[in-house]
Amino acid sequence: MWTPENRPKYDRSKLRYPSDLTDEEWSIIGPLIPLAKGGGNKRTVDIRGVLNGVMYILSTGCQWAARPLDLPPRSTVNDYLRRWDEDRTLDRIHHALYVMCREQAGREASPTAAIIDSQSVKSAEKGGAASTPRGMTRARRSKARSGTSWSTPKAC
């Protein structure tokens, strides 16, 4: 809640960019970032800087090429963002923050009840995308993308 006591806690004016992580935020998220892969050279990139770069892109919506030059190179930030998406690091961070927020609000870490409104039920009855298993639909093939061109005569 925005009270005079809480305002200093959420003040981001002393950060380089409003999207940068505070030390407190980094202490929560930092341990959830995977360690460097074994073998080879040691990791030389500043992971906190990479995460600040990801947060800048996500919070401002700017183009990759328009990001500030004092952040790590866009290829580095993009590569880590893709890697963290593939290995589900982003999901783990989200879940940890979700659980922490629920506990701060005095709730159980996992919800114990769910509400389904009538609109959700109607869309599921109509066979929405989520209600049809992927293996049950036939794949569509594009003639334009196939390796065969029918404009050439067939060999007999």
Q: How far apart are CA 31 and CA 26, in angstroms?
A: 8
Q: How far apart are CA 121 and CA 123, in angstroms?
A: 6
**Tens-digit pLDDT profile for residues 113-139:** 777 777 766 666 666 555 555 555 555
Q: What percent of the chain has pLDDT over 70?
A: 75
**Tens-digit pLDDT profile for residues 37-80:** 888 888 889 999 999 999 999 999 999 999 999 999 999 999 99
Question: 60 lies in which domain range?
Answer: 44-111
Q: Using the predicted structure, report yes or no on whether residue 103 has a pLDDT greater than 70.
A: yes
Residue 132 lies in a domain: no
Residue 100 lies in a domain: yes
- Do 52 and 19 contact (CB within 8 A), yes or no? yes
Residues 42-77, buried b or exposed e (16+ Cβ, 10 A)?
eeeeebbbbbbbbbbbeeeeeeeeebeeebbebeeb
Instruction: Quote the tokens at residue 15.
Output: 């950060």
What's the total number of domains in the chain? 1
Lowest mean pLDDT among 27-31, 51-55, 102-106, 143-147: 143-147
Residue 39 lies in a domain: no
Residue 89 lies in a domain: yes
Residue 52 lies in a domain: yes
Residue 48 lies in a domain: yes
- Do 20 and 55 contact (CB within 8 A), yes or no? yes
CA-based nearest residue to 116, from 107, 125, 108, 104: 125
Residue 130 lies in a domain: no
The pLDDT, as a whole number, for residue 31 is 94
Q: Using the predicted structure, report yes or no on whether residue 106 has a pLDDT greater than 70.
A: yes
**Tens-digit pLDDT profile for residues 84-97:** 999 999 999 999 98
Average predicted confidence (pLDDT) for the chain: 80
Mean pLDDT of 97-109: 84
